[in-house]
Amino acid sequence: MQMHSRFRSDRRLTTRMGITLFLLGLVYVGFVAALIVLLKSWVLVVLVAAAVLGAQYWFSDRVALFAMRGRVVEREEFPELHGVVDRLCAIADMPKPVVAVSDMDMPNAFATGRNPDHAVVCVTTGLLRRLEPAELEGVLAHELSHVAHKDVAVITVASFLGVLAGLIVRFAFYSQLFGGGRRDQNTAVVFAAVMGVSAAVYALSFLLIRSLSRYRELAADRAAALLTGRPSALASALTKVSGDIARIPTKDLRTAQAFNAFYFTPALGREPGVARLFSTHPSLEQRLDQLGRISAELGEATAPGGV
């Protein structure tokens, strides 16, 4: 029997995604309504909202690749990488995503795209240099599960609200700074209200997305471990990557941190401190504990992709 059922729908993840999108939708409607009342220009608000949402949905994969210096690679250039992706996609019975490589020493990987037919899986050269074949297979299975579960698209759409709130704050700030003209007390009140509403919306969307993001990482670990049949290999990759990222200079991680929600493991420095509390990922200990339980259930007796 073909084992694509191992990438079957995760009901708890699906439920969490639905609840998150519903709550964000309520916040979004309230946000747009508040902006229309405050700015007295529903055309501007709707146009900006539609443009940002459309851009995030249709071009998120290109933006992420560009930001992380990723490039699409063909089989001739990275035959082993393509081979692993081909094999996993065959086992999971899913379309093969575009394969990309980012020339970065930071060991990591991410998946992005609006659906399984328009997805990209990208790994860094730092990851390829550090991992053994079985470990790389585990990481790629983790990323492919994000595509199969469609949670990449949900995170992309969910993060739209925070991005829109940030853009509104910038627009309001610069229009006040450079707009010229008469600035009366009413204008100042509207400006303060827009800033306050946007900040509240950003905070709410931030917390909702973080909650969903942490759970989806555990779901991806679980799905990858079951697909490959080697939880210990994925655990080894997690331990190795997390340890090596902690040794990467903080200045080299700053660009990557904006995309932490999409990464295999977050780009946190040596002393993450408070950042750990708001991380997009569960702790390394939580992930290893789950993989340990799966390993015990499977007995680590199965070969990769086997029954």
- What is the per-residue pLDDT for 159? 67
Whether residue 142 is annotated as binding a ligand: the answer is yes
pLDDT digits (tens, 9 = 90+) for 125-164: 999 999 999 999 999 999 999 999 888 878 777 766 666 6
Helix axes 133-149, 231-245, angle to 10 degrees: 100
- What is the per-residue pLDDT for 256? 62
Whether residue 217 is annotated as binding a ligand: the answer is yes
Whether residue 74 is annotated as binding a ligand: the answer is no
Cα end-to-end distance, the chain, whole Å: 9
If you ran DSSP here, which 8-state letter would residue 263 be given?
A: B
pLDDT digits (tens, 9 = 90+) for 215-260: 999 999 999 999 999 999 999 999 999 888 777 655 555 556 666 7
Contact between 229 and 305 (Cβ < 8 Å): yes
Contact between 300 and 231 (Cβ < 8 Å): yes
pLDDT digits (tens, 9 = 90+) for 196-222: 777 777 777 778 888 888 999 999 999
Helices (H), the chain: 11-39, 42-67, 79-92, 125-130, 133-149, 151-178, 185-228, 231-245, 250-257, 284-298
254 CB contacts (<8 Å, ≥6 apart)? none
**Comparison of pLDDT for 167 and 1, the residue scoring more:** 167
Task: With a cut of 60, say whether residue 183 has pLDDT above it.
Answer: no
- What is the per-residue pLDDT for 67? 72
110 inside domain: yes
Sort 43 into a burial class: Cβ within 10 Å, 0-12 / 13-18 / 19+: exposed
Contact between 108 and 263 (Cβ < 8 Å): yes
104 inside domain: yes
- Report the candidate in 149, 132, 136 with the shortest Cα–Cα distance to residue 220: 149
- What is the per-residue pLDDT for 9? 66
217 inside domain: yes
279 inside domain: no
- What is the per-residue pLDDT for 236? 96
Domain range enclosing 197? 11-227
90 inside domain: yes
- What is the per-residue pLDDT for 127? 94
State the Cα–Cα distance between residues 8 and 112, nearest whole angstrom. Answer: 19
State the Cα–Cα distance between residues 27 and 202, nearest whole angstrom. Answer: 10
**Comparison of pLDDT for 217 and 39, the residue scoring more:** 217
**pLDDT band, residue 1 (cuts 50/70/90):** very low
pLDDT digits (tens, 9 = 90+) for 249-276: 555 555 566 667 778 887 765 555 555 5
- Report the candidate in 220, 176, 164 with the shortest Cα–Cα distance to residue 28: 164
- What is the per-residue pLDDT for 99? 96
Q: Look at 101-105, 110-114, 147-151, 300-304 and tell me which has the smallest mean pLDDT.
A: 300-304
pLDDT-above-70 percentage for the chain: 72
Contact between 93 and 122 (Cβ < 8 Å): no
Which two structure tokens, joined as six digits, stand for 84?
């692993």
204 inside domain: yes
Q: Which residues make beta-bridge pairs with 102? A: 70, 124
- What is the per-residue pLDDT for 28? 74
List, by residue number, the catalytic residues. 143
Q: How many structural domains compose the chain?
A: 1
**pLDDT band, residue 10 (cuts 50/70/90):** confident
291 inside domain: no
- Report the candidate in 88, 68, 92, 106 with the shortest Cα–Cα distance to residue 265: 106
Q: Which residues make beta-bridge pairs with 123? A: 101, 109
**Comparison of pLDDT for 201 and 72, the residue scoring more:** 72
Count of residues in the chain: 307
CATH of the domain at 154: 3.30.2010.10
State the Cα–Cα distance between residues 130 and 237, nearest whole angstrom. Answer: 9
pLDDT-above-90 percentage for the chain: 33
292 inside domain: no
